[in-house]
Amino acid sequence: MATELKVFTAEELQAADPQPPQFVIDQILPAGFVILAAPPKTGKSWLCLALADAIAEGSTFWGFQTVKGSALYLALEDSGYRLNSRLKAIGSRMPPNLHLAIRGAETIGGGLIEQIGKWADSVPDGKLIVIDTLGRVKSAGRPGMNAYEADTQMFAPLQQFAVKRGICLIGVSHFSKAKGLALDDPYERITGSMGAFGVADAAWILCGKRGEDQTLRITGRDITDAEYKLHFKGATWHMLGNSEALEKQAAIDAYKQAAIIRTIRALVKEQGFWEGSATILLNEIWSREHDCSAANARELGRQIHQYRDMLLEIDGIAYSQRNGGKAGRSYRFATAAATLI
């Protein structure tokens, strides 16, 4: 006989005042089931070990505040020697609440939930469990199920366990070689079906070529999507910054270094404004900078249009243009005060 469906009204939901999800690392790592995936040999295990160590210590991670608590790292593809060496390499102080296992894990459907449940019962402050990798604990799907259905049913108990316990449970996965890197959506590159990703509360995806800086993409049901640039050096993942902010800064740096901008700034500084033809402006750039990336008046116009917003925002210089017939296009650049003249 089927159990009764638990139904409640919107009014009852509001009265219950459900609380937002908790984070074990502020803003970027929530409690719940989290998929962490990347191409092989890009440093996923180093990242997971550093995460577990930071939470056990309660130290900041990439500048984000962590919630201190016990952590369990199932390093199922490592040896004790390698794990010890890596802990030393990341500068761990070997916290007593960082728990490790390299063998003995059952499959998800064969006892793993009970195993991690006993661990969670044994510690009063469990915050993080890492399964490295999910491939080591996958159960066989039921006959007749497609891959998505099998993965959804398999990983649902991990998600339910993590949510019920208020623990972040990270399942480490790879990118599928068969899917390649041509897919527009990096989440579709995760090994297996999209079932695990569909069940997960959040996902961390490392994108990039091996040996180069990586882009960490974060998404989830109750967190803000974000992208960060990471650099792996020695044994440590360093955050270079928010991808959007880095791109904006790179654009500003390119603007400030552009010969055309330095020339316009110098010309306007002399009397608050400058006006002249595109040909004259090109000659000014060459004479002052001995270099100009614009080969002709059309390319010059394209560059001015490209930098128009930053020219006004950063240097307070507005510009206008007019077609001068046979004389060609002419420009006027002026500061805010000069535009009133």
Higher-pLDDT residue of 147 and 96 is 96
State the pTM of this model.
0.75
Going by pLDDT thresholds of 50, 70 and 90, the confidence category of residue 340 is very low
Domain ranges of the chain: 10-242, 258-340
In the CATH hierarchy, which top-level class contains the domain 10-242? alpha beta
**Cβ neighbour number for residue 72 with a 10 Å cutoff:** 25
- Checking if the pLDDT of 327 tops 60, the result is no
Torsion, CA 126, CA 128, CA 131, CA 137, rounded to 10: 40
pLDDT in tens, 297-322: 778 888 888 888 888 888 898 888 87
- Checking if the pLDDT of 1 tops 80, the result is no
CA angle in degrees (0–180, nearest 5) for 181-186-187: 135
- Checking if the pLDDT of 181 tops 70, the result is no
Q: Which two tokens stand for residue 39?
A: 């191409």
In the CATH hierarchy, which top-level class contains the domain 258-340? alpha beta
Q: Which two tokens stand for residue 43?
A: 């440093």
Q: What is the mean pLDDT of residues 268-285?
A: 85
Dist CA 191 CA 193 (whole Å): 7
- Checking if the pLDDT of 260 tops 90, the result is no
- Checking if the pLDDT of 190 tops 80, the result is no
Q: Which two tokens stand for residue 294?
A: 């614009």
- Checking if the pLDDT of 179 tops 70, the result is no
Q: Which pLDDT does position 184 carry in this prediction?
A: 62
Dist CA 281 CA 335 (whole Å): 17
Query: What does DSSP assign to residue 176?
Result: -
Q: Which pLDDT does position 308 carry in this prediction?
A: 87
Q: What is the mean pLDDT of residues 60-65?
A: 94
pLDDT in tens, 199-251: 999 999 998 887 888 999 999 988 889 999 999 988 999 999 886 776 777 77
Dist CA 200 CA 75 (whole Å): 20
Q: Which two tokens stand for residue 324?
A: 């001068």
Most confident of the ranges 63-77, 203-217, 300-314, 327-341: 63-77
Dist CA 161 CA 169 (whole Å): 9
Confirm whether 10-242 and 258-340 share one CATH topology.
no
